[in-house]
């Protein structure tokens, strides 16, 4: 079967599962139609040899070969519509002359094949093909000289209609289910591709960010061994502490990233103003924190229901960003948080008048390990983790920034009703 698939597809590179399925079904239809048609013509020639039948066989073969060639070389719609039109017309002409042989029943095959080939994504083309086959049957079998219910072929028409509509419904819903399944597979493949790309970047960057502070500590220890000056030793120890803090911060970010991606969402009641104050208090160790005017404009009575762990991750990273990239050359560096509930969603804004972000850096700002500036040290994980936490809660995060003017992060989070 795989060899036949390869033969039908030829050298085409088809990424979409639906498109691949359409090409394969069209190819198989031509092969089956060719076998059935050829067998019938040969049998008819055996029973009643006529040169006209041999000519018909030759044209039938050439026509199907042309359709197959077109499908195999990327002309799917041309080849498929050609063979389906030929099938409907050929069956109708033969059935009209040989109505007693029940050849008209093969119009079911042609109609349902059109529906199956074009699938759910291109269903209207398939439905159109099925309707043509259905109408052709009645054009052939209706006796215009009598009322339909008293017609010669009324029982056949009823049986045909029931069979055709039953197969139509089954095929249509099967197409729908396979289409939804293909969408699911496509979504999972995209997530898997994203995970693999992130893993590659993570291994490369994490190895560097883990080694850098360790190499720094090793170098500082070597210097300490060579001196007895207490002042110099104290200075080296402070630098070692700074490297260790950097390493701890990076390890905490990795832990947050792993926990966010694997931990289930736990909803609980949160007093938002108090949480923001608590998070900001944990960031006071930063040397710029004491130079910033902090403003918490969230209503003290505002209680919300969401995942506290992920909200804490979000606030920690966004507030830390506001502190780290504050512009201390300005007379009054500001960091302000606002929050309100609107349409059962939490609307947060965190605004600063810091160094801002250049416009060309904004599209990549939430990518893993991306750093928009080298003015401060960091892993480039913080905003990526914040975005992942927001998306885990089915929310959205946006950023507005002007270089040397300031930055505003806007977050929308749906709340538990």
Decide which of 141, 165, 193 is a domain's last residue.
141
Note down the domain range covering 51. 2-141
Domain assignment present for residue 397? The answer is: yes
Cα Rg for the chain, rounded, in angstroms? 35
Q: Is residue 367 packed enough to be buried (19+ CB in 10 Å), middle (13-18) or exposed (0-12)?
A: middle
Domain assignment present for residue 61? The answer is: yes
Asked if residues 382 and 321 have their Cβ atoms less than 8 Å apart, the reply is yes
Total of domains in the chain: 2
Among 133, 192, 208, which residue's Cα sits nearest to residue 163? 133
pLDDT at residue 33 tops 70? yes
What letter would DSSP give residue 393? T
Alpha-carbon distance of 136 to 84, in angstroms, equals: 13
Q: Three-state DSSP class for 416?
A: coil
pLDDT at residue 147 tops 50? no
b/e map 233-261, b = 16+ CB within 10 Å: eeebeeebeebeebbebbeebbebbeebe
Q: How far is CA 256 from CA 146, 198, 309, 385, 392, in A?
A: 79, 15, 9, 7, 13
Question: CATH no. for residue 269?
Answer: 3.30.565.10
Alpha-carbon distance of 88 to 131, in angstroms, equals: 11
Alpha-carbon distance of 277 to 294, in angstroms, equals: 10
The tens digit of pLDDT for each residue in 91-124 reads 787 777 665 566 777 788 888 888 888 888 888 9
Decide which of 107, 141, 175 is a domain's last residue.
141
Q: So what's the pLDDT on residue 347?
A: 94
Domain assignment present for residue 212? The answer is: no
Asked if residues 272 and 312 have their Cβ atoms less than 8 Å apart, the reply is no
Token pair 């109708």 in the structure block, residue = 92
Asked if residues 357 and 366 have their Cβ atoms less than 8 Å apart, the reply is no
Domain assignment present for residue 196? The answer is: no
Ranges of beta strands (E only) in 144-292 are: 267-271
Report the pLDDT averaged over residues 346-359: 91
Shared domain check, 417 and 270:
yes
Asked if residues 353 and 328 have their Cβ atoms less than 8 Å apart, the reply is no
Token pair 């701890």 in the structure block, residue = 248
Residue 68 C-beta-side C-alpha neighbours within 13 Å: 18
Q: So what's the pLDDT on residue 148?
A: 47
Shared domain check, 414 and 275:
yes
The tens digit of pLDDT for each residue in 256-293 reads 776 777 788 889 999 999 999 998 988 887 778 888 99
Asked if residues 13 and 44 have their Cβ atoms less than 8 Å apart, the reply is no
The tens digit of pLDDT for each residue in 192-247 reads 887 787 777 666 666 655 666 677 778 778 878 878 888 888 888 888 887 777 67
Decide which of 114, 141, 168 is a domain's last residue.
141
Domain assignment present for residue 260? The answer is: no
Q: Please give the share of the chain, as a percent, with pLDDT higher than 90.
A: 18
The neighbour count for residue 52, using CB atoms within 10 Å, is 8
Domain assignment present for residue 163? The answer is: no
Report the pLDDT averaged over residues 309-324: 90
The neighbour count for residue 372, using CB atoms within 10 Å, is 21
Domain assignment present for residue 82? The answer is: yes
Average pLDDT, the chain: 82
Domain assignment present for residue 147? The answer is: no
């Amino acid at each position: 079967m795989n060899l036949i698939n390869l033969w039908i597809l030829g050298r085409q590179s088809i990424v979409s599962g639906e498109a691949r399925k359409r090409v394969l079904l069209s190819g198989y239809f031509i092969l089956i139609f060719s076998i059935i048609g050829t067998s019938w013509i040969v049998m008819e020639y055996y029973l009643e040899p006529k040169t006209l039948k041999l000519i018909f066989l030759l044209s039938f073969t050439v026509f199907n070969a042309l359709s197959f060639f077109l499908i195999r070389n990327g002309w799917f719609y041309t080849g498929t519509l050609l063979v389906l039109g030929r099938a409907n017309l050929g069956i109708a002409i033969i059935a009209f002359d040989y109505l007693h042989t029940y050849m008209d029943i093969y119009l079911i095959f042609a109609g349902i094949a059109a529906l199956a080939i074009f699938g759910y994504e291109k269903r209207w083309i398939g439905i159109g093909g099925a309707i043509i086959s259905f109408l052709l049957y009645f054009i052939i079998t209706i006796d215009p000289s009598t009322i339909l219910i008293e017609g010669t072929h009324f029982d056949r028409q009823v049986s045909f209609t029931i069979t055709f509509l039953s197969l139509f419904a089954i095929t249509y819903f099967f197409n729908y289910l396979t289409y939804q399944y293909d969408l699911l597979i496509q979504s999972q493949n995209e997530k898997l591709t994203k995970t693999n790309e992130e893993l590659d970047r993570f291994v490369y960057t994490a190895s560097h960010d883990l080694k850098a502070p360790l190499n720094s500590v090793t170098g500082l220890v070597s210097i300490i061994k060579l001196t007895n000056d207490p002042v110099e030793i104290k200075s080296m120890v402070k630098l070692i502490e700074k490297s260790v803090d950097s390493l701890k911060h990076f390890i905490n970010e990795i832990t947050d990233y792993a926990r966010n991606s694997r931990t289930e969402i736990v909803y609980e009641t949160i007093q938002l103003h108090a949480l923001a104050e608590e998070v900001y208090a944990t960031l006071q160790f930063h040397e710029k924190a004491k130079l910033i005017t902090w403003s918490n404009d969230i209503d003290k009575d505002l209680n919300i229901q969401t995942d506290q762990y992920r909200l804490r991750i979000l606030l920690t990273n966004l507030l830390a960003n506001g502190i780290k990239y504050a512009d201390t050359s300005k007379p009054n560096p500001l960091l302000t948080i606002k929050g309100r509930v609107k349409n059962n969603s939490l609307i947060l804004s965190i605004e600063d008048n810091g160094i801002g972000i250049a416009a060309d850096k904004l599209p990549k700002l939430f990518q893993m390990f991306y750093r928009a500036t080298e003015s401060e040290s960091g892993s480039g994980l913080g905003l990526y983790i914040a975005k992942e936490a927001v998306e885990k809660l089915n929310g959205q995060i946006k950023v507005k920034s002007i270089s040397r003017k300031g930055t505003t992060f806007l977050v929308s989070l749906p709340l538990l009703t």
